[in-house]
């Protein structure tokens, strides 16, 4: 039997949890929502709708920008995937990251306009803004889909969560960018609301060159 739960709104971020939903309902809902700014997480019959707050979106967009700059400065080929829906019917699970990137697996998706996880790899790196916890186990869904690394930011701390052999994540050094100190990135995320985006990007690029790519 279907049931609906609404979590108390926090910082303009609202979550609705529906239980007893089918895979067909989930896929039809994704089609109806189209490009509306609503994140849908599905985990074996439980479906959560989340409306991201302004704060959530600013952090997510900025962190995605900074990751792109890291790749550019290190000469790493990459393709951003944004908040693409990643789902797999065989697992009865699906979600949208706040941002994601193909790095090591880029050659497998070059030239494709649509992705299918039954034949295509998941992104190599996903961004998860985690200031208000989901009612569902999003990390478990990422693990089931095989995403090797997640950069998780809770508003104050940025961690690289690495997928382990047992199917769980643990904090560790980044697989994608092992030379980049993640704690140093937080100072630029802290500027998300009082500095324009171009200035933050430029300051970050200069910091990255001085810390990660020092001049000989």
What are the phi and psi torsion angles at 132 (to 5°)? -120, 115
Q: Is 204 exposed, middle or buried (0-12, 13-18, 19+ CB in 10 A)?
A: buried
The domains of the chain are located at 54-211
CATH among 3.40.50, 3.80.10, 1.10.3470, 3.90.1570 for 54-211: 3.90.1570
What is the structure's pLDDT at 13? 76
What would the pLDDT profile of 14-42 be if each residue is shown by its tens digit? 889 999 999 999 999 999 998 788 899 99
Average pLDDT estimate for 124-152:
93
Q: Return the pLDDT at 133.
A: 77
What pLDDT sits at residue 215? 55
What confidence category does residue 4 fall into, taking pLDDT thresholds of 50, 70 and 90?
A: very low
- Residues sharing a CB contact under 8 Å with residue 20, sequence separation 6 or more, in sequence order: 1, 2, 3, 45
Crossing angle between the packed helical segments 54-74 and 182-189, to the nearest 10 degrees: 130
Please give the average per-residue pLDDT across 77-88, as a whole number. Answer: 96
> For position 190, what pLDDT does the model report?
95
What pLDDT, on the 0 to 100 scale, is given for residue 9? 47
List pLDDT tens digits, range 165-206. Answer: 989 999 999 999 999 999 999 999 999 999 999 999 999 999
For residue 14, what pLDDT is reported? 83
């Amino acid at each position: 039997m279907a049931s609906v739960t609404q979590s108390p709104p926090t910082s303009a971020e609202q979550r609705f949890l529906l239980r007893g939903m089918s895979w067909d309902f989930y896929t039809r809902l994704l089609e109806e929502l189209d490009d509306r700014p609503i994140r849908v997480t599905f985990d074996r019959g439980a479906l959560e709708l989340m409306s991201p707050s302004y704060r959530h979106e600013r952090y997510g967009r900025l962190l995605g920008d900074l990751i792109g700059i890291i790749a550019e400065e290190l000469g790493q080929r990459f393709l951003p995937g944004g908040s693409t829906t990643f789902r797999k019917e065989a697992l009865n699970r699906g979600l949208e990251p706040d941002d994601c990137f193909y790095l090591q697996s880029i050659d497998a998706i070059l030239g494709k306009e649509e992705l299918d996880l039954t034949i295509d790899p998941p992104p190599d790196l996903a961004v998860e803004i985690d200031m208000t916890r989901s009612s569902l186990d999003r990390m478990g869904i990422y693990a089931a889909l095989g995403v090797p690394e997640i950069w998780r930011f809770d508003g104050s701390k940025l961690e690289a969560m690495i997928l382990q052999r047992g199917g769980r994540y643990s904090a560790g050094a980044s697989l994608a960018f092992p030379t980049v100190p993640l704690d140093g990135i937080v100072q630029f995320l802290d500027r998300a609301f009082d500095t324009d985006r171009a200035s933050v990007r430029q300051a970050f690029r200069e910091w990255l060159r001085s810390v990660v790519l020092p001049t000989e």
